């Protein structure tokens, strides 16, 4: 939808302000991810933490799905998976549905290290909403869902 910037100057200013706040959120989240990745294992690149975080959230999968889901190329995922496995964070098992495929999952050690690393990240965001009323938090969640393309009426 196009609009006349002169006519809709207040709207344009609001959209710029929204962009600034989204950029601040993305930047803060990225900085916290980098810190959480270092807490997880400082010898690894933050991209390895991204893989571990994805597996924790979505469960076991293959390397191709990991690459696609994390927007990484397959060779990078393969290299990082080997590192994570050698450090005892990942399991590689033959797929039961396809005897040739490999399924990647977190070890108990990997899960616990991730949980410990995420506690610090989550505490920063929880601290920011500590004094919010439940209604404010609910409204914020609903607006984020709507912004992220989730239909809050159908729960999708």
- DSSP assignment string, 95-122: -SSSTT-EEEEE-HHHHHHHHHHHHHHH
pLDDT in tens, 100-156: 789 999 999 999 999 999 987 888 888 999 999 999 999 999 999 999 887 645 444
Give a yes or no: residue 148 inside a domain. no
Q: What is the pTM of this model?
A: 0.73
Domain count, the chain: 1
pLDDT in tens, 8-65: 789 999 999 999 999 999 999 899 999 999 999 999 999 999 999 999 999 999 999 9
CATH number at residue 85: 1.10.10.10
> Domain containing 106: what range?
9-119
Give a yes or no: residue 14 inside a domain. yes
Give a yes or no: residue 156 inside a domain. no
Q: Note whether 69 and 27 are within 8 A (CB).
A: no
Give a yes or no: residue 70 inside a domain. yes
């Amino acid at each position: 939808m196009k609009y006349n910037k002169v006519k809709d100057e207040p709207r344009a200013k609001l959209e710029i302000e929204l962009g600034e706040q989204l950029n601040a959120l993305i930047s803060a989240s990225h900085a916290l991810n980098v810190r959480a990745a270092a807490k997880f294992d400082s010898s690894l690149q933050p991209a390895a933490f991204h893989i571990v975080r994805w597996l924790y959230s979505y469960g076991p999968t293959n390397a191709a799905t990991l690459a696609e889901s994390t927007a990484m190329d397959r060779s990078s995922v393969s290299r990082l998976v080997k590192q994570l496995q050698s450090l005892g964070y990942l399991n590689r098992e033959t797929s039961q549905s396809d005897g040739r495929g490999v399924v990647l999952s977190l070890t108990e050690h990997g899960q616990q290290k991730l949980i410990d690393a995420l506690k610090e990240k989550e505490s920063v965001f929880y601290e920011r909403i500590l004094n919010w009323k439940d209604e404010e938090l609910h409204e914020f969640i609903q607006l984020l869902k709507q912004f992220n393309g989730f239909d809050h009426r159908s729960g999708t």
